[in-house]
A and B are shown apart, each in its own frame.
Chain A
């Protein structure tokens, strides 16, 4: 996966650096001690659930709010107190914030008009942007209210690109779009990132969305950055249970140390986990649904075997998901459709997994 991403250059100096950035609203700490380096030309995504402080953070990065403490450096220059209209960056809003009294063309040309670019040149730039974003040229004079949701997204993006920002910020612009269109626009956005070579900073609550587009991802929780890494690193080496759960449906087992093994609290089973950290007593074992296998007899040598009952099955398109009840525990198992379980509900089944495929967290 990483091999296909354009070289976003580990060595390049950060275009945007956050040093111990805090934001307080009264006594409430919205953003706490955030340190981030965003590199020139990368697609950087900040992911977090609602209330994690990601919107507050991006508002400070754009210049609509000031940090309570810490520094924001753009190419090494402190920009904490530079207002939004004096910064060479701009944002695509969640609500898109298209100007309803202006046409598509007037919206896209707005940042150029503000800068005093002559009308003929504005028109030319606007037409090139319409083309780049696959909008018909005759949309130039169309009212933005008459455009579809996807078209409005493109107009908002075109307006931001017309600004020609050094960093383009996105505040969850796709969250209100229906699933299929969103999937298409995610890829389109990544293509545009490639074409323009600009630095994109995107915030979203969906790690899935972040995975599709990003070169690197920062995960936020409770105003703090929990983990920063490439999609591969986040997926394969989540730092804690929160990050691993954030990725999607996973099985979380509350386990306690029992000799060199782990005892599952819900099913009471004795399990073999990955290597335990020093001084581990209890914590959580996270197993992805696709790590499970249905075991036939004793041919499979895995030390982790759980006997249970097939309670239900769900079709997820290319995959099948099964709910297996083991004692008091409920497990989710996923198989590719062509490797689906051959049998019936209420069958007695044995599921197993390799110890190395599970992740152990203390918190």
Chain B
């Protein structure tokens, strides 16, 4: 009798525990359900999945490959940092240095070229700015390599530009192709829209009233630029700089097509490691290093500059 009571009591206790557990599980399920029911969550799910499979997955795979022994393809083996040690001890720093240097020069040149152009497009040209936009966008429909080969034909000895320069100006620029300046020319040419359009956006965010107020308070053209236009357009300028810097850093075609074998940029090294050398782990390690260096630089710049503060929302 007493045993039966005890068993029953135990049973009911277990039952209670089970209930609690089930209740907990169901509450977790309802929470998930609630989360999925909130606006946008389901709509965001397909792109999230795509990003996870198509972007994050391969990145992790590259990171994993960078940690296996050189010239192997087996992810199951022992992990090592040999590849990174090799990179540091070998002369890869030269490729890294060229890439960073050329990307920096490209960004600086693009800033100088694009600011007046962006200013004109937002403030001076009026409706003609649309035509200019179209003219700048149309070349993007042509493959980058074809456009670069166009430059090869223009710059090659006896080509359009050296020929014209010699005929009309008496200048000999036939040696320009396959040099570093030719690579810079290609980088600036290809990435111009990526600096120009964010800059146009940034400059169009500067209200005319603020310009007028600054001028009314005595500001000269230069003071207006320094005190009002530049800081207020800074978000757009920064985005343009980051975009073009990252793109130029990872560029490959410009140095190969316009630079010939003048220099080797890091993307070139990565490509060789994956293709000719069949050394995937080293290519992966170089890629990881480039991502880390570029990412670190971007984060350093972004954390130094508070966009909210620039926009006066801080």
Contact = CB atoms under 8 A, between A and B. Distances in A.
Contacts of A95: 207, 209
A148 to B, nearest CB: 15
B209 A100 contact: no
B220 interface: yes
B310 A64 contact: no
Interface of A: 62-64, 83-85, 90-91, 93, 95, 97, 99-102, 110-111, 113-115, 143-145, 159-160, 163
Interface residues of B, number: 23
Given A100-B311, A110-B227, A114-B223, A91 B216 contact: yes
A216 B254 CA distance: 71
Of A83, A85, A102, A143, chain B has the most CB atoms within 10 Å of the CB of: A85
Contacts of A110: 214, 217, 227
Contact of B212 (A84, A111, A143, A163): A84
Interface in B186-226: 207, 209-210, 212-220, 223
B217 to A, nearest CB: 4
A159 B309 CA distance: 21
Contacts of A93: 209, 212-213
Interface in B277-314: 309-314
B232 interface: yes
Residue of A95, A97, A143, A159 contacting most chain B CB atoms (<10 Å)? A97
Given A93-B209, A114-B217, A145 B227 contact: no
A97 B213 contact: yes
Contact of B310 (A83, A90, A101): A101
Given A110-B227, A114-B223, A163 B310 contact: no
Contacts of A63: 216
Interface string B229-243: 001100000000000
Contacts of A62: 216
Contact of A100 (B214, B215, B219, B232): B232
Contact of A143 (B207, B210, B215, B314): B314
Majority secondary structure, B binding face: helix
A301 to B, nearest CB: 60
B87 interface: no
B228 interface: yes
Given A84-B212, A99-B210, A110-B227, A145 B217 contact: no
Nearest to A91: B216
Closest 5 A/B residue pairs (Cβ)? A100-B312, A97-B213, A111-B217, A97-B209, A85-B215
B277 to A, nearest CB: 51
Contacts of A97: 207, 209-210, 212-213
Contact of A159 (B207, B217, B311): B217
Given A110-B227, A163-B217, 20 more contacts: A64-B215, A84-B215, A85-B216, A85-B219, A90-B216, A91-B216, A93-B209, A95-B209, A97-B207, A97-B209, A99-B214, A100-B232, A100-B311, A101-B312, A114-B219, A114-B220, A143-B312, A145-B312, A160-B217, A163-B218
Nearest to B220: A85
A135 B212 CA distance: 25
Contact of A85 (B218, B227, B314): B218
